[in-house]
Amino acid sequence: MSVDDNTPVLRGCIKLPLATDELLEVTAKAKDYAIMHGAAMRSKTNFSPDSLNFAPFVLVPSSFPRKEFEKAIALQPIINRLMHNVAHDEEFITTTLAETIKVDEFTANLFNIYRKVLAHGFTQAYSVGLLRSDYLAHVYEGCAIKQVEINTIASSFGGIATQLVPLQNFVLRELGHAEKLQRMPKNDALAGLCDGMVKAWDIYAKPQAVILFIIEEVSYNICDQRFHEFYIRETYPHIKVLRRTLTEVHRDGKLGQHKELLLGSTEVAVIYFRAGYEPGHYPSQGEWDARYLMETSLAIKCPSIHYHLAGTKKVQQALAQPSVLERFINDPEEMKAVGKIFTGLYSLDDNEAGNANYEMALRTPEKFVLKPQREGGGNNVYGLDIPDALKRMSRVERSAWILMDLIHPPLSQGYMVRPGSAMPPQIVDMVSELGIFGVVIGDAEHIVHNYQAGHMLRTKLSTANEGGVAAGLGALDSPYLI
Ligand code: ADP
Ligand code: MG
Ligand code: MG
Is the confidence at residue 3, as pLDDT, over 60? no
Query: CA 74, 80, 85 angle in degrees (round to 5)?
Result: 135
Backbone angles phi and psi of 343, in degrees to 5:
-105, 175
Query: 466-477, pLDDT tens digit by residue?
Result: 877 877 789 999
Ligand 1 contact via 375 beta carbon (within 6 Å): yes
Q: Measured between alpha carbons, how far is 238 from 232 in angstroms, rounded to an integer?
A: 9
Please state the rounded mean pLDDT for residues 348-367: 97
Amino acid in position 420: G
- The per-residue pLDDT for range 280-289, each reduced to its tens digit, is 999 999 999 9
Q: Given ligand 1 and candidates 135, 368, 380, which is best to mutate, with the most ligand atoms within 8 Å of its CB?
A: 380
Confirm whether 418 is a catalytic residue. Answer: no
Of residues 375, 442, 450, 467, which has the active-site annotation? 375
What domains appear along the chain, each with residue ranges and CATH number?
Answer: 20-343+407-481 (no CATH), 344-406 (3.30.1490.50)
Reference 126, options 437, 439, 446; nearest CA is 446
Side chain identity at 297, as an amino acid letter? S
Residues 6+ apart with CB under 8 A from 322: 335, 339
Tens of pLDDT, residue by residue over 170-227, are 999 999 999 999 999 999 999 999 999 999 999 999 999 999 999 999 999 999 999 9
351-370 average pLDDT score: 97
pLDDT of residue 4: 61
- Residue 216 has a pLDDT of 97
* pLDDT beyond 80 at 313: yes
- 112: closest CA among 348, 282, 268, 229? 282
Q: Which amino acid is at 360?
A: M
pLDDT higher than threshold 90 for residue 6: no
- Which of 467, 468, 434 has its CA nearest to residue 67? 434
Residue set of the binding site for substrate: 132, 225
Nearest CA to ligand 1 atom 6: 149
Q: Do 275 and 336 form a contact (C-beta atoms < 8 A)?
A: no
Other C-beta atoms closer than 10 Å to the C-beta of 126 total: 19
Which residue owns the Cα nearest ligand 1 atom 20?
148
For residue 409, the 8-state DSSP code is P
The count of residues in the chain is: 482
Task: Evaluate: CB of 403 within 6 angstroms of ligand 1.
Answer: no
Catalytic residue list contains 375: yes
Confidence (pLDDT) at 468: 78
CA gap 226, 12 in Å, rounded: 33
Give residue 28's pLDDT: 98
Q: 82 CA to middle of ligand 3, Å?
A: 19
Q: What is the DSSP string of 349-415?
A: -SSHHHHHHHHHHHH-GGGEEEEES--SSS--EEGGGHHHHHHTS-TTGGGGEEEEEPP-PPBEEEE
Q: Which residues pair with 302 in a beta bridge?
A: 272
Q: What is the pLDDT of residue 469?
A: 81
Contacts of 53 (CB under 8 A, 6+ apart): 35, 40, 41, 42, 43, 46, 419
Mean pLDDT of 24-40: 98
Question: Whose CA is closest to 126, among 367, 440, 421, 426?
Answer: 440
Q: Of 60, 55, 52, 53, which is closest to residue 27 (Cα–Cα)?
A: 60
What is the structure's pLDDT at 290? 98
Ligand nearest to the CA of 320: 1
Q: How far is the CA of 132 from the centre of ligand 3 (A)?
A: 9
pLDDT-derived band at 166, boundaries 50, 70, 90? very high
Q: Which atom of ligand 1 is nearest to the CA of 407?
A: 24
Instruction: List residues forming the annotated binding site.
Output: 132, 149, 151, 225, 313, 371-380, 382, 404-407, 433, 458, 460, 466
In the predicted model, is pLDDT for residue 404 greater than 70?
A: yes
Of 403, 400, 329, 321, residue with least CA distance to 111: 400
Compute, in angstroms, the gap from residue 64 CA to the centroid of ligand 1.
Answer: 18
Q: Which helix (H) or strand (E) holds 440?
A: strand 427-442
Torsions phi, psi of 266, nearest 5?
A: -90, 130
Confidence (pTM): 0.97
Which numbered atom of ligand 1 lies nearest the CA of 406?
A: 24
Give yes or no for residue 1 having a pLDDT over 60.
Answer: no
- 170 with 25: CB under 8 angstroms? no
When the pLDDT of each residue in the chain is averaged and rounded to a whole number, the result is: 96
Q: Whose CA is nearest to atom 11 of ligand 1?
A: 466
